[in-house]
A and B are shown apart, each in its own frame.
Chain A
Amino acid sequence: MDSGTVIFSKPGIAMQPNPRRHDQIPGQLSIRRTEEGCVLVEWAPIHEATPCKFQGASDEEEGATVLSLDDSAPPPRGLESPKPEGFSCDVQEMKSIRRVAPTFGMPFAIITKTNGTNAPPLHFPNPRMLDAFLTEVQKNSQLSRAHDDPNLFVSLVAVVAPPPQSPSPPPVSVPPLSPSDAISPGARGFSESPSGAAPTAPSTPPLLPVSIIPVVAPTPVSISTSTPAPAEPPLSTASDAEFEVLAATEVEKRKIFGPLDSVQWEQMLDVDGRIVDLQRFKEYVFYGGVHPDLRPQVWKFLLGYYPLDSTAQERAQTKEEKVSTYFRLKRQWMSIIPEQERRFSLYRDRRYSIEKDLDDKEHQYLRKLSDILVTYSFYNFDLGYVQGMSDLLAPLLVVMGGDEVDAFWLFAGLMERMEPNFATDQSGLFAQLERVGSLVRIASPPLARHLAEVGADNYFFCFRWCLLHFKREFAYTDVMRLWEAIWTDHLTPHFVECCCATILLGQAPAILGTRMHSDEILRHMNGLALKLSLPALLRDAVDLFLRLAPLLDAHLAPKPEPAPVESTTPASLEALSPPLSGLDAMLGFALPAATTAATSAAPTLKPPSTTRSGAAGRAATTTPTGRAATPTEGARRTQRIEALQRLRQAYSLSPTGAAPPPPQGAAPAPAPPPTVTILAPLLPPLGSAF
């Protein structure tokens, strides 16, 4: 093992066994040329180290310092053992190395192997050491900097990797990683002895469903019915188990929380009328909705009319102020005299554009809508009136029972959230569409590929959904229920995008089955209006998020203050699942295995255009394996199956794993093994829900 020439060796380089967690294991990284002439990159842990705070980037030479960004929080049970054994990788088997140098936090590298798996991130104490390592790797391998991405080093030789469980392994013994390591390397690949036997070949699923997003069954479904005789080794690592419990807890909540009614609402307030438990309040609204009678009150909290921590007395005062301020604003334009209006084209045009959208002055509600919108255009003069605003305002006015002042301030609060969508550059909307695309690319590469092929990967067919938050897709009562869920920001501030992706995945069979063109897709999507089931959408969008959340945890967006692990509280779930921003940037290395293997698996299909596609597309097109090698049909099929298996295993929350141990500090409730089965894997695709 240690014979040969050492080319590079540095201590103080930490391995992060689980990309979702901040825990890092200190170790030594080296590059070694063996007597047979192979160049190996090896990392080995330094044992018996006492965790302490990372001292800073200057102790490069005394790198034995243990890197622990968060030593105050005890590691969750099960994560401290087994100790990882280190790993070794032949440079010839490296497809690429991605260098990541975040603004905050330490730089790290992700090695992707030719078989599509990722090694766990390696954290360097400073960029210099990382660059020194990369320089040595480049000198001793075929890896070189990608022409279009300075942080990506790709192999110039086209190596078609044998499948991980290939009967003829490469000459150098590298611990074979199970396919599931591709996305969530975690400790699992390293809990096995490096020289240990190859993992049991995963069972090939009988079907390759179009959509790999399973649906939660209305009733708990026994796992054995959906995955007969699974041959995979137990996948459950401690961290996965922990996540699984968190996800299951979230799923349980929708059973617990019914619509928030006045009795429960009263109980949520303390003697001063302040909401006692904000998190619980939001969960209630997110999972159960709000009773219609209570909406006029509760929506004021959700849309910032009342501060969330206000007392009843403070609210009474706020209400008074809101009333007087509204009428002050309204008087500003009501007092414009005709001679003034004649010389005030900006006002005239604005008023006209509002009135022509609401052109029945006799109708009391339309009159009020118009007045509110003109007043708002004075309140937010720079933004003005944009079509679509009246769609958003109308349900607010209805819920407020026609109270113009309340509806105005709720609308102003809603526009605080949505203004970027209506801005001249519509930056907010484009960002939303981009996020929808990212979700689809992860969840269903075949669908994403098809959309790219027909030029629909700008996701413009979701324009109306995103701009109006599905206002035109559902009946009024459903819209109200959906909106209040969105406004809680529970789980994610991007729930709208999750809903969009969920609907698209549900339509994947229709889109792919008929090879729909971009125009037909738009017509199809517009045609879904009033045909979708909201309960199914809410349920499936939550599932989608929970399944993808582990993949969305951005290495690229390190949290300056890692949230302490709090067992099953939703707060820690949120910590696990940061906003999707930055997701695109991480796709390139978070999922290269799945996306590239799947892309190269379809020889008849054109690869996505490099000019338009995001990071995933770039990863696919810069992959030398895909370019130079021409795998046989059989190899392609194998790759495809592997990619799908990897995706499945990554998204289904350990279908075959044993019941996870309850995380530390969990509520004194008994261990909840049945909850694991709630997220039943590989059930019919979402389309069946609609």
Chain B
Amino acid sequence: MAEPKTYSYKLVLLGESAVGKSSLVLRFVRNVFCEYQESTIGAAYLTKTLTLKDCIVKLEIWDTAGQERYHSLAPMYYRGAPAAIVVYDITNRDSFERAKDWVRELQKSGGVGVIALAANKCDLEPRRVPASEAEAYAEDSGCIYMETSAKNNINVAELFQQIAIKLPKQEPEPSPVVILEKPNVPGGSDGGKKCC
């Protein structure tokens, strides 16, 4: 039998600060959880390879800083990414509203095909965002929806796996090189991609 094909995808995590983006990534990639995870400055990049039924998917994960002040840098990271996870904290209503903003922005930008909404910290009380409401929103906007807890390792691998399954399997190896553009640079490369 032939070797299973390998596909590489860029995946970006977005969301309000302190909702657990880095914690989700670290749980997924290294299976660790840190109660006092420090804030992400700039961005972090990690990779993880998943073996699916008929192929291998390498996820190139960009973890971004969440604070509003760093919002202008986000397009640099999501440009050229076929997948994104938008994270919110179920105990924080504002973070859900912010997540909806992110989904809208991604859909407006048009480049990100697969968007997942991660309702993180599902182990915590009190819940401020009803699951039904978020699920309905996700369905309306065509997002994958998943209640997660990085701390208790609930649905973390499943979240990334669902994205990997849903991503279109057309791109041949080697993976595209992602060009990071400075924000607001006119005439930046279209789509932010360049072949090596």
Tell me the A residues contacting B by CB distance below 8 Å.
353, 356-357, 359-360, 386-388, 390-391, 422, 424-426, 430, 454-456, 458, 460-461, 463-464, 467-468, 472, 517-520, 522-523, 526, 611-612
Contacts and interface: CB of A to CB of B under 8 A. Distances in A.
Contact of A387 (B10, B43, B67): B67
24 contacts: A356-B18, A386-B67, A386-B69, A387-B69, A388-B41, A390-B39, A391-B38, A426-B69, A430-B182, A455-B178, A455-B181, A455-B189, A455-B194, A460-B180, A464-B41, A467-B42, A468-B41, A472-B38, A519-B45, A519-B60, A522-B43, A523-B44, A523-B47, A526-B44
B179 interface: yes
Given A386-B69, A455-B194, A460 B76 contact: yes
Given A353-B17, A357-B18, A523-B46, A387 B179 contact: no
Interface centre among B10, B60, B65, B179 (most CB of A within 10 A): B179
B92 to A, nearest CB: 9
A424 B38 CA distance: 22
B116 to A, nearest CB: 20
B69 A422 contact: yes
A463 B178 contact: no
Interface residues of B, number: 34
A519 B178 contact: yes
A45 B178 CA distance: 55
A518 B41 contact: no
Nearest to B19: A356
Interface in B9-53: 10, 17-18, 36, 38-39, 41-47
A551 to B, nearest CB: 25
Given A386-B69, A468-B41, A523-B45, A458 B196 contact: no
Given A356-B18, A386-B69, A387-B65, A464 B42 contact: yes
Interface centre among A388, A391, A422 (most CB of B within 10 A): A388
B177 A388 contact: no
A686 B167 CA distance: 43
Given A353-B67, A356-B18, A360-B36, A458 B44 contact: no
Nearest to B65: A387
Given A353-B67, A387-B69, 7 more contacts: A357-B18, A426-B69, A455-B179, A460-B180, A467-B41, A526-B45, A612-B182
A387 B41 contact: yes
B187 interface: yes
B17 A387 contact: yes
Given A357-B18, A611-B187, A612-B185, A387 B177 contact: no
Contact of A472 (B18, B41, B177, B178): B41
B137 interface: no
A522 B45 contact: yes
A518 B62 CA distance: 12
